[in-house]
Amino acid sequence: MRVLHADSGRVWRGGQNQVRLLARELARSPDVEQRLLTKRGSELARRAARDGVRVRDVPWTMGLDPRAAWRLVVEALEFRPDVIHAHDGHALGLAVWARRGLAWLGAGSAPHLVATHRVVFPVRSRSALFHADLIIVISEAVRSVLVAAGVAAATIRVIPSGVDPDEVRRAAAAPCGIRATLGLPDGTPLAVNVAALEAAKDQPALLRAAARARTARPDLHWVIAGEGGLRRALEAQIRALGVGDRVHLPGYVDRPEALLAEADVCVMSSRAEGLGSVVLEALALGKPVVATRAGGLPEVVPAEWLVPVGDDDALARKVVAALDHRSAFSLPTRFTASAMAAGVLAVYKLLV
């Protein structure tokens, strides 16, 4: 079967890495011929091409870029896909337009439309999701949000995100030297959060937890790696709490796997989380994880290491406890890239 993937590729985050991993895994199947349409010059285009995926990089400046919509139609006319798989909201909107355009052009039977939805934010009543033939969600939490919004349960399939444990370990093999970079002695305990600096990730709760944990573990340092609109607010909060000597904001890191490998515990303070691919990478590296009960996190992290959303006191206590309880739980096989790809391929076969 022929599959045309579409992703706007505007940023490089966990979702884009999932697209790359899926296309790479599907390329190993004799049943699939595929192409990926994404933003020209994007990190997704570069990394997918490096993995041997056939990439069609196109002008895609704004979310619903008409140039990208037209190129999607042209690509569909040439490639004749059985399935168009839209991996983000903007790509899905353009795929709906493209399928209508193909019908208007009289281009034969329209391709099936599959959408992947990764977030637990409310769904608008006019969302393009209602036009997809089948919707892949990455957790039961995301599924619940769609059903509550009126999406037919029969059109939804839960296929968790996955990582390649061997790839994660290879990426982490060369140390990033975060302690030396921060001027910390070897062996300094580190709690690491890798996430965009945005409201859904709730790093303010993480900063309050750092202040609370200082009495119990004055040697503990916290690294919050990422960029986003909350940086200035977080810097101000760090000054107000007096934790500038214990909390570090190194910005975006090129190799988050290497940073996680040097952590003593991975911490997720999210208020909303579809699943959390960073958590999967931490587990692949054998690291303990402390997280909130937000979205799909409880579907990955054992209950004993979960805390209520926004409870900085509980977060601080769990992180301190994790430092003395280093035995991590292993990554379940259903959260591997190969399992994810097998699930997606089954969805395609159901349609075609």
**Whole-model pTM?**
0.94
166-333: what CATH class? alpha beta
Tokens of 187: 């062996």
Give residue 17's pLDDT band: very low, low, confident or very high (50, 70, 90). very high
Residue type, position 169, single letter:
R
pLDDT of residue 328: 63
> What tens digit of pLDDT does each residue of 183-225 get?
999 999 999 999 999 999 999 999 999 999 999 999 999 999 9
Residue range 167-190: average pLDDT?
96
Residue range 37-47: average pLDDT?
96
Q: Fold match between 2-162+336-351 and 166-333? A: yes
Segments making up each domain of the chain, as ranges: 2-162+336-351, 166-333
User: Residues with Cβ < 8 Å from 21, sequence gap 6 or more?
Assistant: 162, 163, 164, 337, 340, 341
- Rounded Cα–Cα distance for residues 280 and 295 (Å): 15
Average pLDDT value over all residues in the chain? 95
2-162+336-351: what CATH class? alpha beta
Tally of CA atoms within 13 A in the half-sphere of 191 that contains its CB: 32
pLDDT of residue 103: 80
Order across the sheet with 83-86: list the strands. Answer: 55-58, 33-39, 2-7, 83-86, 112-117, 134-137, 156-158
Give residue 105's pLDDT band: very low, low, confident or very high (50, 70, 90). confident
pLDDT of residue 179: 97
